[in-house]
């Protein structure tokens, strides 16, 4: 269902794939964790990360729990993520591990 390539030692590796069943199980696990945390339907969930399998899993977990997902685009320039968070009134944000470093940059996001 979902494929990606890893960049290792300056070269793109072969495609790696996740089956529909594996993705479905990840979505169910993420959705169950969200539900267990007490987040109710209609909550606005930000998704901050590059296009990747984890982004799709987060989006589908939101769909499974009737959350509203809000893509957070940092490609629109500094401050774009903060602008989106403020205007969409996002309650919770999924953050890709590779994006955590950017969140620590004070020019990117001001809370």
Query: At residue 48, does pLDDT exceed 80?
Result: yes
pLDDT band at 2 (very low <50, low <70, confident <90, very high): very high
pLDDT of 98: 82
Q: What pLDDT does residue 109 have?
A: 52
**Domain range summary for the chain, segments of one domain joined by +:** 2-103
How many angstroms from the chain centroid is the CA of residue 50? 8
End-to-end Cα distance, the chain: 37
pLDDT band for position 65 (cuts 50, 70, 90) = very high
* Mean pLDDT of all residues belonging to the chain: 88
Task: Look at residue 99 in the predicted model and tell me its pLDDT.
Answer: 83
| Residues 93, 70: Cα–Cα separation, whole Å | 9
Mean pLDDT confidence for 2-29: 94
* CB contact at 8 A, 52 and 96: yes
DSSP state of 48: E
| The pLDDT value given to residue 20 | 96
Exposure string of 56-85, with b = 16+ CB inside 10 Å and e = fewer, is: bbbbbbbeebebbbbebebeeeeeebeebb
Which fold does the domain 2-103 belong to in CATH?
Answer: Rossmann fold (3.40.50)
- Whether the CA torsion 70, 74, 76, 81 is positive or negative: it is positive
């Amino acid at each position: 269902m979902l494929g990606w390539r890893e960049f290792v030692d300056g070269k793109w590796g072969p495609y790696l794939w996740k089956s529909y069943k594996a993705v479905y199980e990840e979505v169910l696990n993420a959705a169950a964790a969200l539900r267990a945390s007490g987040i109710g339907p209609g909550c606005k969930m930000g998704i901050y990360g590059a296009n990747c399998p984890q982004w799709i899993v987060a989006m589908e977990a939101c769909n499974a729990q009737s959350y509203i997902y809000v893509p957070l685009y940092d490609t629109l320039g500094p401050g774009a993520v903060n602008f989106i968070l403020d205007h969409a009134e996002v309650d919770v944000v999924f953050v890709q591990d590779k994006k955590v470093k950017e969140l620590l940059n004070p020019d990117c996001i001001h809370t």
